[in-house]
Structure 1
């Protein structure tokens, strides 16, 4: 999940209970040109290393149709005068930098900034089930989309899904359907794109997201195809071909293929074996440099289709590193091809090795 990952990196460098009606068709966004249609990759731009990511985007602009700067966040407004119950959309450092927006536009790349959120399920349900507060939140999001020459908005709401309470999760799911239906209609009326980022939907995960409904109202549904093993889990691959087969198979059964994007990881985790401490984040570039520095042999795990290696540090502690590179990405892209999914995403610009672009 990018919320936890974003917090670690930055430190280091609500649903209607009754069934809602089907969404009313909204005006379509601006048509996609033939040149844009040949570009199949979107990528997130991290605000904490924006210059590296921006240079990376310009260098590969011919393959990028969209860049989503990680610039905005929905959070509790502690100064709202209502006991902390208010919600606001805040700006990250450098948000709205016109130099970056204009530079990407000059290369034919659309700019669709991402809004994350830090509200857990109870707080999000309180927001989504209150029509006045929900409308105010949609107004704030539209305000972001119109604050610059943006081409749309990417909603990446993850923390609200972190609950084992099935009833609460269903309220999140239903309320989020309502929120996104209203937001996408407003964005489409402005001829701006509505992108929704979701977690992989499998038998035991991603249940808070209604793929079918979200796929009807959004222009694109971005699936985060990473963090199968996260920083607090046991060491293992960030993604696997079997996992891709499961969630891509589900997604293509309920969402039009031309609306789907599957985002690949360009990072990894460095676990200290036997420790309960959080694994250390490494970009793909850093992981490969570390592998070479410690003299570990290159190995591509056949079962998952991802590279990994082990080493012992100066303190005698054993480490296990799993990450993603061009070879691993090729195995996962093959799964997308088998399911007819052409759209690919990347988390994140500046993380990847140069060879990955050849695979993309």
Structure 2
């Protein structure tokens, strides 16, 4: 399967499933909604991220806005001792100078509550623009700087500790040649953005697709790893909603992308994000698979009386059930699967982990990460 075209899962979750509309844009001079050329030298942030070798807090997690935000927030508070960062999935760049807030973006109660619990708040921004548009923006010095300034205004609009860039549309659209231009331009952009964030004592986090085969080539791991404080690898959607049924991740796949990542990015900057969800495919039907959190998947399995099966080759659970004449195949991830994958992170010296997303996961996920 071609992951380069498959990795738009998160947009499917955030924008196909979301019922809420976008809030006001953060255009030049505007505040965030209350609902809420050359390579710059890398400068260490005034407030550095917890080093993977020194901190007991080794987990970051995204907080969704379209699901039960309050439940996700409470989930974060329950596990504050393990979380160093929460990234509310709140913002979307719709042009070089416009960043829009999703429903609830900038919620001060959530931000302040996470801070009181000792958790950094680094909101996520994704982009609506395709590869052609982003390549042109990144390679135009004035437009690139204007986009950096728009993101800095966002960071300054609340008591944020930095920003997480999850730019995936540009990595899954356009031609391979255009994605090459995205890769070189995005590296220039990251140099400038991260340097300016560091000058303000803020964190620069970049989320990337796993680099395997033809996947993830829009990201220059070497350059991004130099510029950013953390590189988050999405360790999921090996099989995805619009493809054939199969595990969201596998041991062989983790081995492949970890081998590449640890050759190109300092290990203490790497985080591997685990899925707390799954997909429900209807066999023989080309329709998009249904999204299920771990909680929903387990409830469905029990309701249908389906046997729990664990695929030792991939390290993921799955089950099959019938709805009328239709046969469904569900693949997802649970604590047992995460436990099967963790030795590979240890093998490659990566201690940083992540979760997509708060409120989705098997509660045992946290015990597994504690080594219980």
TM-score (norm 1): 0.92
Q: In the alignment, what sits opposite 1:69? A: 88
The alpha carbon displacement at 1:254 in A equals: 0.9
User: For structure 1, which segment, 124-133 or 225-234, has the greater mean C-alpha deviation from structure 2 after superposition?
Assistant: 124-133
Aligned residue runs from structure 1 range 1-360, under 5 A: 1-11=9-19, 22-31=39-48, 37-48=55-66, 49-76=68-95, 87-163=97-173, 165-313=175-323, 315-360=324-369
The alpha carbon displacement at 1:11 in A equals: 4.4
1:33 and 1:358 mapped to 2: Cα distance?
21
- Gap change, CA 1:196 and 1:31, over 3 Å in 2: closer
The alpha carbon displacement at 1:21 in A equals: 5.2
- Gap change, CA 1:31 and 1:196, over 3 Å in 2: closer
Question: Cα deviation per residue 1:209-243 (whole Å; 9 max; x = unaligned)?
Answer: 00011000000000000011010000000000100
The alpha carbon displacement at 1:280 in A equals: 0.3
1:318 and 1:164 mapped to 2: Cα distance?
35
The alpha carbon displacement at 1:104 in A equals: 0.5
The alpha carbon displacement at 1:112 in A equals: 0.3
The alpha carbon displacement at 1:30 in A equals: 1.4
Question: Cα deviation per residue 1:13-34 (whole Å; 9 max; x = unaligned)?
Answer: xxxxxxx855413243314569
User: For structure 1, which segment, 30-39 or 227-236, has the greater mean C-alpha deviation from structure 2 after superposition?
Assistant: 30-39
2:105 and 2:50 mapped to 1: Cα distance?
28
- Gap change, CA 1:34 and 1:244, over 3 Å in 2: closer
Is the 2:122–2:162 Cα contact (8 Å) retained in structure 1?
Answer: yes
Q: In the alignment, what sits opposite 1:82? A: none
Is the 2:275–2:357 Cα contact (8 Å) retained in structure 1?
Answer: yes
SS of residue matched to 2:329? strand
Question: Cα deviation per residue 1:35-77 (whole Å; 9 max; x = unaligned)?
Answer: 982100000000122111001001111110000000110114x
Structure 1, gaps ≥5 residues long: 13-19, 77-85
Is the 2:281–2:289 Cα contact (8 Å) retained in structure 1?
Answer: yes
Question: Cα deviation per residue 1:277-309 (whole Å; 9 max; x = unaligned)?
Answer: 000000011001111111111111011000000
2:51 and 2:259 mapped to 1: Cα distance?
28
Tell me how large the CA RMSD over aligned residues is. 1.8
Is the 1:9–1:281 Cα contact (8 Å) retained in structure 2?
Answer: no
Structure 2, gaps ≥5 residues long: 1-8, 21-36
Aligned pair count? 344
- Gap change, CA 1:99 and 1:328, over 3 Å in 2: same
Is the 2:39–2:192 Cα contact (8 Å) retained in structure 1?
Answer: no
1:159 and 1:64 mapped to 2: Cα distance?
28
2:260 and 2:46 mapped to 1: Cα distance?
27
